[in-house]
């Protein structure tokens, strides 16, 4: 595990003394009551900051992580000419619950392994809001931006905390899972739980999760992308590369994040109605979808944008879900223009 820095001795200092660098920081937000009624004890949220907060504290942008990502990986998306310009904005890259940095099955001393309770996308957002208000002492955000699971969180931010931010940007995210999404993530859950190395969550060494990794790769790109970038003769090498997951990801952390993905539904408190959820939104929203996305079906996000009369950017790339990488220049230009309005 990587060395983690703590803010336990710093959270009472003025804001500009606390948040000044890109190093990993940890905020202790106390016990987090979950939607389920259960609790994450002494919840910790990891984050990194980029750029400077302006005098009136009006340029803060929250950037939550995607599934399996950590805040360190978001650094490549931050900077002049990138997704978020930290010359203009004070960017808070936040580690989503269950990523192995923020409170997770792998790092909880009081609730280790599967003693760590299931949590939802809404719980992720609640924890992040407590970080923003309680630790960073911000009462308002310029924007919340995220892609994939981070994009799901941006929809939840817009509904859970209407008006807390001026702008919301979802990139290949969804406000509500379709039947296809549910099929994919339930399949992913079964692939993880059927791995012989998982041992019902009581493993002593990390399981390989080969089937899960292959399933993820099968949907990450379009069939055309896989065919055009991987000659048939090279298939053995291609497969061996796909079954190797990241060495530092814990299987029970992955399990809990998959369960969180399955909970994604901003309409949950509105009898499942996206229209009713959209009616609560007070922030301006930009929705970016990939028409050939096989990981996050683009239809609910596109529908939500139309309900809000919000700008909708539809990408049509054989990169599929990874259009957020393949078409980063186009996305960055659209985000920069939206944030400046």
Residue 6 lies in a domain: no
Tell me the pLDDT band of 133, cut-offs 50, 70 and 90: very high
Which has the closest alpha carbon to 152: 126, 129, 175? 175
Same domain, 284 and 155: yes
Rounded-to-integer distance, Cα 270 and Cα 162, Å: 15
pLDDT exceeds cutoff 90 at 306: yes
Which of 226, 259, 292 terminates a domain? The answer is 259
For the segment 6-16, the average pLDDT, to the nearest whole number, is 29
pLDDT exceeds cutoff 50 at 4: no
* Total domains in the fold of the chain: 2
CATH of the domain at 83: 3.40.50.1820
pLDDT exceeds cutoff 60 at 172: yes
Confidence (pLDDT) at 21 = 62
Task: Please name the residue ranges forming H helices in 28-145.
Answer: 71-74, 121-130
Same domain, 191 and 63: no
Rounded-to-integer distance, Cα 186 and Cα 191, Å: 9
Confidence (pLDDT) at 240 = 85
Express as a percent the part of the chain with pLDDT over 90: 89
Same domain, 248 and 284: no
Tell me if residue 319 falls in helix, strand or coil.
coil
Same domain, 325 and 205: no
Q: Which domain holds residue 246?
A: 180-259
Q: Is the pTM of this model over 0.75?
A: yes
β-pairing, 60-64 vs 39-50, is unpaired
Same domain, 96 and 161: yes
pLDDT by residue (tens digit) across 249-261? 899 999 999 999 9
Rounded-to-integer distance, Cα 299 and Cα 312, Å: 11
For the segment 271-285, the average pLDDT, to the nearest whole number, is 98
Confidence (pLDDT) at 245 = 60
Which has the closest alpha carbon to 23: 5, 7, 9, 8? 5
| Beta-bridge mates of residue 312 | 287
Rounded-to-integer distance, Cα 98 and Cα 75, Å: 19
pLDDT by residue (tens digit) across 17-66? 334 469 999 999 999 999 999 999 999 999 999 999 999 999 999 999 99
For the segment 77-106, the average pLDDT, to the nearest whole number, is 97
Task: Identify the DSSP state of 213.
Answer: H
Rounded-to-integer distance, Cα 50 and Cα 84, Å: 10
Confidence (pLDDT) at 242 = 75
For the segment 199-217, the average pLDDT, to the nearest whole number, is 94
Average pLDDT, rounded, for the chain:
92
């Amino acid at each position: 595990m990587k060395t983690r820095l703590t803010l336990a001795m710093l959270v009472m200092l003025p804001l500009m003394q606390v948040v000044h660098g890109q190093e990993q920081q940890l905020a202790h937000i106390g016990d987090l009551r979950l939607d389920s009624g259960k609790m994450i004890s002494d919840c910790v949220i990891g984050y990194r900051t980029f750029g400077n907060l302006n005098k009136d504290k009006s340029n803060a942008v929250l950037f939550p992580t995607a599934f399996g990502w950590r805040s360190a990986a978001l650094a490549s998306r931050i900077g002049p000419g990138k997704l978020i310009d930290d010359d203009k904005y004070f960017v808070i890259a936040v580690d989503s619950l269950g990523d192995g940095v923020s409170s997770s099955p792998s790092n909880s001393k009081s609730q280790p392994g599967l003693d760590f309770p299931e949590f939802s996308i809404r719980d992720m957002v609640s924890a992040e809001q407590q970080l923003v208000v309680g630790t960073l002492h911000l009462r308002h955000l310029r924007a919340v931006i995220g892609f994939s699971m981070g994009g799901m969180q941006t929809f939840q931010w817009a509904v859970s905390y209407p008006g807390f931010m001026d702008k919301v940007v979802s990139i290949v995210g969804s406000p509500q899972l379709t039947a296809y999404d549910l099929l994919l993530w339930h399949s992913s859950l079964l692939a993880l739980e059927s791995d012989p190395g998982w041992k019902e969550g009581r493993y002593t060494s990390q399981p390989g999760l080969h089937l899960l990794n292959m399933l993820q790769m099968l949907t990450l790109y379009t069939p055309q992308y896989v065919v055009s970038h991987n000659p048939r003769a090279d298939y053995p090498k291609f497969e061996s590369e796909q079954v190797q997951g990241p060495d530092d990801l814990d299987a029970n952390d992955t399990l809990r994040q998959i369960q969180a993905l399955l909970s994604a539904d901003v309409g949950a408190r509105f009898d499942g109605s996206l229209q009713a959820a959209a009616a609560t939104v007070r922030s301006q929203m930009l929705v970016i979808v990939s028409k050939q996305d096989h990981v996050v079906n683009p239809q609910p996000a596109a529908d939500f944008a139309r309900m809000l009369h919000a700008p909708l950017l539809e990408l049509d790339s054989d990169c599929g879900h990874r259009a957020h990488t393949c078409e980063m220049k186009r996305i960055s230009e659209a985000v920069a223009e939206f944030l400046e309005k």
